[in-house]
Amino acid sequence: MTTKNTVCRRSKIFARNLIYLSALTAAAWLAPFVGQLTTRAAAQNGAIPDAMHVPPPPVTRTDNVVDDYFGTKVTDPYRWLEDQNSPETRAWIEAQNTYTDSIVKKLPGRDAISGRVSQLLKVDQVGLPMERNGRYFFTKRAAAEDQSKLYFRQGPTGKDELLVDPLPMSADHSTTVNFGEVSRDGSLMIYMLRQGGADEEVPHLFNVDQRREITEEFPKARYFSTDFSGDKSGVYYSRQTEKGPRVFWHKLGTPSSEDKIIFGEGYGPEKIISSSVSEDGQNLLIHVLYGASGDKVEVYIKNLAKDGPIVTVVNGVDARFQASIGGQKIYIQTNWDAPLEKIMATDIATPGRDHWKTVVPESKAHIEGLSLVGGKLSVLYSRNASSELQVFDATGKPVREVAMPAIGTALGLFGQWASSETFYYFASYFVPGTVYRYDLNTGAQSVWYKPDVPVKSDEFEVRQVWFNSKDGTRVPMFVAHKKGLKLDGSAPALLTGYGGFNVSETPFFSSSAVVWMEQGGIFADANMRGGGEFGEKWHQAGMYEKKQNVFDDFIAAAEWLIASHYTSPAKLAIRGGSNGGLLMGAMITQRPDLFAAVLCQFPLLDMLRYQNFLVARYWIPEYGSSENADEFKYIYAYSPYQHVKAGTKYPAVMFVTGDSDTRVAPLHARKMAALMQASAAPGRPILLKYDTKSGHSGGDPVTKTVEDVTDELSFLLWQVGATPK
Q: CA end-to-end span of the chain, whole Å?
A: 35
| 405-409, 630-634, 680-684, range with greatest mean pLDDT | 630-634
Q: How far is CA 281 from the centre of its chain?
A: 31
Q: For 184-221, write each residue's pLDDT tens digit.
A: 999 999 999 999 888 999 999 999 999 999 999 999 99
Kindly report which listed range (37-41, 492-496, 521-525, 611-615) carries the lowest average pLDDT score. 37-41
Do residues 437 and 448 touch, judged by C-beta distance below 8 A? yes
Looking at the 3D structure of the chain, how many domains does it have?
1
Q: Residue 247: is its pLDDT beyond 90?
A: yes
pLDDT band at 15 (very low <50, low <70, confident <90, very high): very low
pLDDT at 125: 96
pLDDT at 5: 30
Q: Residue 474: is its pLDDT beyond 70?
A: yes
Q: Is 578 a catalytic residue?
A: yes
Return all residues near 633 (Cβ < 8 A) that are at least 6 apart. Answer: none
Classify 611 as helix, strand or coil: helix
Q: Residue 414: is its pLDDT beyond 50?
A: yes
Asked if residue 638 is part of any domain, the answer here is yes
Q: For 560-596, write each residue's pLDDT tens digit.
A: 999 999 999 999 999 999 999 999 999 999 999 999 9
Which member of 387, 696, 697, 714 is catalytic?
696
Using CA atoms, how far residue 683 sits from 227, 407, 679, in Å, is 55, 41, 12
pLDDT band at 556 (very low <50, low <70, confident <90, very high): very high
Q: Residue 46: is its pLDDT beyond 50?
A: no
Distance CA 147, CA 116 (A): 19
Instruction: Name the residue among 694, 697, 689, 690 with its Cα closest to residue 660.
Output: 694
Do residues 505 and 531 touch, judged by C-beta distance below 8 A? yes
Q: Any long-range contacts for 305-311 (C-beta under 8 Å, 24+ apart)?
A: 305/230, 305/281, 310/262, 310/263, 310/286, 311/351
Distance CA 262, CA 284 (A): 11
Asked if residue 123 is part of any domain, the answer here is no
Q: Residue 258: is its pLDDT beyond 80?
A: yes
Asked if residue 435 is part of any domain, the answer here is no
Identify each DSSP E strand in 582-670 by its residue range.
597-601, 652-658
**Maximum alpha-carbon separation in the chain:** 75
Q: What is the mean pLDDT of the chain?
A: 92
**Higher pLDDT among residues 429 and 20, named by residue:** 429
pLDDT at 71: 98
**Averaged pLDDT, 31-52:** 37
pLDDT at 693: 75
H/E segment holding residue 195? strand 188-195
Do residues 636 and 557 touch, judged by C-beta distance below 8 A? no
Asked if residue 412 is part of any domain, the answer here is no
Instruction: Name the residue among 261, 190, 194, 254 with its Cα closest to residue 221.
Output: 194
Q: For 321-370, write each residue's pLDDT tens digit.
A: 999 999 999 999 999 999 999 999 999 999 999 999 999 999 999 999 99
Asked if residue 672 is part of any domain, the answer here is yes
pLDDT at 11: 34
Asked if residue 477 is part of any domain, the answer here is yes
pLDDT at 49: 53
pLDDT at 1: 54
Percent residues over pLDDT 70 in the chain: 93
Cis preceding-peptide flag for 284 (omega within 30 of 0): no
Classify 1 as helix, strand or coil: coil
Asked if residue 168 is part of any domain, the answer here is no
Identify each DSSP E strand in 319-408 by its residue range.
321-326, 329-334, 342-347, 357-360, 366-373, 376-383, 386-393, 398-402
pLDDT at 10: 32
**Averaged pLDDT, 636-643:** 98
pLDDT at 696: 77
Q: For 380-389, write each residue's pLDDT tens digit.
A: 999 999 999 9
pLDDT band at 723 (very low <50, low <70, confident <90, very high): confident
pLDDT at 692: 79
Distance CA 312, CA 333 (A): 16
| Pairing, β 65-69 against β 135-141 | unpaired
Q: Residue 152: is its pLDDT beyond 80?
A: yes
Instruction: Name the residue among 266, 216, 220, 217 with its Cα closest to residue 245.
Output: 266
Using CA atoms, how far residue 571 sits from 300, 522, 526, 652, 708, in Å, is 53, 10, 18, 12, 22
Distance CA 462, CA 460 (A): 7
Q: Is 268 left (phi over 0), alpha (psi -120 to 50) or beta?
A: beta
Kindly report which listed range (1-5, 121-125, 389-393, 695-699) carries the lowest average pLDDT score. 1-5
Which member of 578, 639, 694, 697 is catalytic?
578
Percent residues over pLDDT 90 in the chain: 89
Kindly report which listed range (30-34, 95-99, 467-471, 504-508) carries the lowest average pLDDT score. 30-34
Q: Is 565 a catalytic residue?
A: no
pLDDT at 725: 83
Measured at the alpha carbon of residue 33, what is the angle toward residues 31 and 38, in degrees to the nearest 5?
A: 115
Burial class (CB in 10 A: 0-12, 13-18, 19+), 379: buried
pLDDT at 246: 98
Do residues 100 and 689 touch, judged by C-beta distance below 8 A? yes
Structural domain boundaries, residue 670: 458-719
pLDDT at 608: 98
Residue 368 has φ and ψ, to the nearest 5°, of -95, -30
- Radius of gyration, CA atoms only, the chain: 25
Do residues 269 and 243 touch, judged by C-beta distance below 8 A? yes
Classify 232 as helix, strand or coil: coil
Asked if residue 505 is part of any domain, the answer here is yes
pLDDT at 372: 97
- The domain that contains 702 carries what CATH number? 3.40.50.1820
**Averaged pLDDT, 521-526:** 98
Distance CA 109, CA 112 (A): 5
